[in-house]
Structure 1
Amino acid sequence: MPKEEQANRTFTQNARRTQIIQAAIETLAEIGYQKTSFNQISKRANLRSTGMISYHFSGKPELYSEVAATVLAMAEETTGSRMEREETFRGRLRAYIEANFEFLARYPAHTQALAQILMMDCGRDITRSQTLARSVLSVERLSLLLEQGRSAGEFGAFDALTMALAIRGALDGVLRRYLKNVDLDLERCAAELTAAFDQCTRPRQ
């Protein structure tokens, strides 16, 4: 949300919006998009009525936009903080992959809620999530990292876009299986993918 808009709200109003967003995340994760309603969210948030949700959000599109933006901002923070600690491009690539799994492990409900929203193809209404998605999940961001590392001599002579698509595709494949409640060892997946892409991006000796 715009900082000016948030600043104009009282502490209580912001706290209530946060409470509603968290309840929406938990509800979406537990019962799915189709079954989630203002009534279900209101019960989980212990609100007196659904009118309290309507006071803060004009409808589901705005609420789900805020849910998506909240989750993606958290993913951005997780990924960004891990990458910033690395001094090399190879280290940042490793951090990028590992941070995806770290977020899955730490915030399973948030991941499931975001997936529910995106699966319903609400892109026309949930516009705020798109900007964040470009910065957090986009192939373009990953491709830029690979190009910079290649220019620095840390990566081999491969097509950055193709490699970025391969990395993102592998991560998304694990995510899809994870969201289907497949029993996955996330630590092992992270280690395997990190090692695999570390190897195939190395310069030729």
Structure 2
Amino acid sequence: MECAIALIAESGYPQSSIAKIAERAGIAKSVVLYHFRGKDELVAAIVETVFAKSAAVMIPQIVAASTATERLRAYIASNGEFLDAHRPDAIALYAISSTYRDAEGRRFDEAVQASVDTDGVPPELALLDPESIFADGVRDGEFTTDTEPRVLKNILRAALDGVVGELARDDSFDVLTHTAAISDLFLTATGASR
């Protein structure tokens, strides 16, 4: 898994074949295929691993926050902490999410949605979706924006994906300063009290 994540982060998803991953790990391709029936299964394991790592960093901070404003701050700050501490994981997941196609030709987001439709979203991972933070803030009057929570979520996720894009280009990129700026922008844009 570590070799697959590192190779995908360095070379991109399409260029990271099972054979190249095995070579990097110093094992035979058949060993990789013993543990994973193919690249789709390996991708699923990578995604699960990276999400578990991000959840371990983010969820405790989000749960500790008592208001939507505090949850939004915690969501963005903890996301930045995860990205900063787990750069190869974030870059690999970004590469997968932007170029992956499963055996049926579905994009990453379509494959994830199919999985959610079948299995649902584990409750702990639901906390990693900022749409509910925006919806709660609007409902409770903490956020004074007319922008739909889904639109705010999409803009925020795009801004955070932009951080990962910068990481992929510049390994010295200052993630925490960038995510602090994102937080300030979103608190201002939503009319949240500071």
Count of residues in correspondence between the two structures:
181
Q: Is the 8 A contact 2:100 2:107 kept in 1?
A: no
Q: Is the 8 A contact 2:144 2:190 kept in 1?
A: yes
1:167–1:29 Cα change, 3 Å: closer
Within 5 Å, which residues of 2 pair with 1:148-167?
Answer: 148-159=136-147, 160-167=149-156
1:195–1:27 Cα change, 3 Å: same
Partner Cα separation in structure 2 for residue 69 and residue 61 of structure 1: 12
Equivalent in 86, 89, 96 of residue 117 of structure 1 = 96
Q: Is the 8 A contact 1:65 1:128 kept in 2?
A: no
Task: Give the TM-score, by structure 2 length.
Answer: 0.78
RMSD over aligned CA atoms reads 3.0
Within 5 Å, which residues of 2 pair with 1:43-192?
Answer: 43-47=23-27, 49-123=28-102, 124=106, 127=111, 131=116, 135=125, 141-159=129-147, 160-181=149-170, 183-192=172-181
Equivalent in 15, 24, 31 of residue 11 of structure 2 = 31
Deviations 1:104-147 (A, max 9, x none): 11111111211222222325386468647xx5698xx3222112
Deviations 1:39-71 (A, max 9, x none): 332243343x22111111111111112112211
Segments of structure 1 that go 5 or more residues without pairing to the other structure are: 1-20
Partner Cα separation in structure 2 for residue 183 and residue 35 of structure 1: 24
Between structure 1 and structure 2, the one with the greater Rg is: 1
AA paired with 1:89? A
Task: Give the TM-score, by structure 1 length.
Answer: 0.74
Identity %: 28
1:22–1:154 Cα change, 3 Å: same
What is the deviation of 1:183?
4.9
Q: Is the 8 A contact 1:68 1:114 kept in 2?
A: yes
Deviations 1:88-113 (A, max 9, x none): 11110001111221111111111121
What is the deviation of 1:83?
0.3
